[in-house]
């Protein structure tokens, strides 16, 4: 029996995946954590054979506990972050969040056998263009992340404050964020700034 821990945001998704995995003859879900539950203590407490974790919930510096392989579920915009973890040996599997449930079932089985699981589309996304931000948008967002206010950014780049705000608005939209702070977080995690 493959003891599996789930750490996914969203009750519906987590519950549905738990049902799919528990319906398998060789897989049992031993814990289902959400965004409010720390992943590392859950791994230590439940000692799963495989953990299925949303990359957004895994601490970037975290390593699997006790040799437990981790199957990261990754949004394409976070593909670079997941591939960085994979390259550092921090995990042994990555799949996109849009994969069919059977792909996750297969991934859990493969990881339990010690086989790697890699979504080729995510690798391509990570190696593709560095991100959706133009060089100017990335520069202005990075300056914003460093705490520089719009007038200071405008002065140092010889732009009007309105132009800086326009670049920031486009960067927020391209990051799929609602605020500048969220855009900075998304862009950092994706490696765009």
Give pLDDT, residue 61.
45
Query: Which CATH number fits the domain that encloses residue 14?
Result: 3.40.50.2300
* Residues β-bridged to residue 6: 32, 52
Rounded mean pLDDT of the chain?
A: 86
Give pLDDT, residue 34.
85
- The residue segments making up the domain with residue 100 are 2-127
Residues 115 and 166 in one domain: no
Q: Of 127, 148, 167, which one is at a domain's C-terminal end? A: 127
Residues 111 and 142 in one domain: no
Give pLDDT, residue 2.
96
Distance separating alpha carbons of residues 127 and 144, to the nearest angstrom: 26
Give pLDDT, residue 22.
96
pTM, whole model, 2 decimals?
0.66
pLDDT along the chain (193 residues), means of 10: 92 92 97 83 90 76 63 79 64 84 96 89 70 89 94 95 96 92 88 79
Q: Of 127, 149, 177, which one is at a domain's C-terminal end? A: 127
């Amino acid at each position: 029996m493959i003891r599996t821990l789930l750490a996914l945001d969203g009750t519906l998704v987590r519950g549905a995946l738990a049902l799919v995995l528990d319906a398998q003859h060789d897989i049992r879900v031993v814990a289902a954590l959400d965004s409010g539950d720390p992943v590392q203590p859950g791994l230590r407490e439940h000692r799963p054979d495989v953990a299925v974790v949303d990359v957004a919930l895994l601490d970037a510096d975290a390593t699997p506990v006790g040799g437990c392989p981790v199957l990261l579920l990754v949004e394409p915009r976070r593909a670079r972050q997941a591939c960085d973890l994979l390259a550092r040996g921090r995990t042994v599997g990555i799949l996109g969040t849009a994969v069919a449930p059977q792909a996750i079932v297969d991934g859990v089985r493969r990881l339990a056998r010690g086989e790697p699981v890699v979504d080729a589309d995510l690798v391509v996304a990570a190696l593709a263009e560095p991100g959706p931000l133009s060089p100017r948008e990335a520069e202005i967002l990075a300056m914003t992340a460093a705490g520089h206010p719009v007038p200071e950014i405008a002065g140092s780049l010889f732009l009007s404050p309105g132009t800086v705000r326009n670049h920031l608005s486009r960067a927020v939209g391209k990051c799929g964020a609602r605020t500048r702070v969220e855009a900075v977080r998304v862009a950092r995690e994706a490696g765009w700034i």
